[in-house]
Amino acid sequence: MPSPARGLTQPERVETSRRRLMEAAAELIVEKGWEATTAAEIGRRAGYSRTMVHARFGGKEAILEDFLQEYVSRLNPELVPYPTGMDQVLAHIDRIRDLYAHDRDVLRAMFVSTFEAMKTTSPLRDRVQGQLTGGIANVADGLRKGQRDNSIRPDIDLDRAVTDITAAFFGLAFQWVALPPGFDLDAELVHARERIVRDYGA
């Protein structure tokens, strides 16, 4: 087990160990899925004992809950004012592109855990569905705002547009996770972004 980092305060040591455990969980989720991963494996990968993992989190489910709160929520842009409704819609793609550029392994783990949580037996199914539903609602809100500020065409079918745009996000994410190496997620996201502007922009 790693010794506490010298010069760090207790809160800083707690955050360091939490971060190591989150990173270890992300690696294992990608390698073998969440259900097949144990708390002991997460601890070993992070360099900590199983006892420490349980003392810090209380169990594997709590680790995943923290992981989802910390990372999966990052897929949804913050509810801040955007210059236009179109900017609000595109913020979803821009957020994924930013995570792909800076935290690619964590992004893959986020998608894997999200897909795995859709099983009817998953205790986190409702939580993940709530996060995804919130993201879809944010897209719909951006489209309506865009029609008011003239960044979105006034004649589009809003329901169809929301389905089309969100399907593009999830479809590209699934292909990136499922297909062999070589699928260029960033390039595909750029194409999707350009198409959304072309099809729905005023």
3-state helix, strand and coil shares in percent for the chain, rounded to the nearest 5 = 75, 0, 25
Of 12, 10, 2, 99, the closest CA to residue 52 belongs to: 2
Q: Residue 97 pLDDT more than 90?
A: yes
Q: For residue 185, give the nearest of 195, 170, 197, 196 by alpha carbon.
A: 170
User: What's residue 33's pLDDT?
Assistant: 85
Q: What pLDDT is attached to residue 196?
A: 98
Measured CA to CA in angstroms, residue 148 lies from 47, 77, 136, 155, 199 at distances of 53, 20, 19, 12, 17
The predicted structure's pLDDT at residue 36? 86
How far apart CA 153 and CA 155 sit, in angstroms, is 6
Q: Rounded to an integer, what distance in angstroms lies between the CA atom of residue 186 and that of residue 119?
A: 28
pLDDT of res. 118: 81
Domain spanning 10-61: CATH superfamily: Homeodomain-like (1.10.10.60)
Q: What is the pTM of this model?
A: 0.80
Q: Which residue has the higher pLDDT, 84 or 53?
A: 84
Which tops the pLDDT comparison, 199 or 66? 199
Q: State how far Cα 153 lies from the chain centre.
A: 29
State pLDDT tens for residues 30-74.
888 888 888 889 889 988 887 878 877 777 778 877 877 777 667
pLDDT value of position 10 = 78
Question: Which is higher by pLDDT, 123 or 106?
Answer: 106
Q: What is the DSSP letter of 74?
A: G
pLDDT (0 to 100) of residue 193: 98
Checking if the pLDDT of 80 tops 90, the result is no
Give the pLDDT of residue 79.
61
Q: Where are the domains of the chain?
A: 10-61, 71-200
Label residue 107 exposed, middle or buried (CB < 10 Å: 0-12, 13-18, 19+). Answer: buried
- Dist. CA 106–CA 198, nearest whole Å: 31
pLDDT in tens, 112-170: 888 888 888 877 788 778 888 888 999 999 999 999 999 999 999 999 999 999 999 99
Looking at domain 71-200, does it have CATH number 1.10.357.10?
Answer: yes
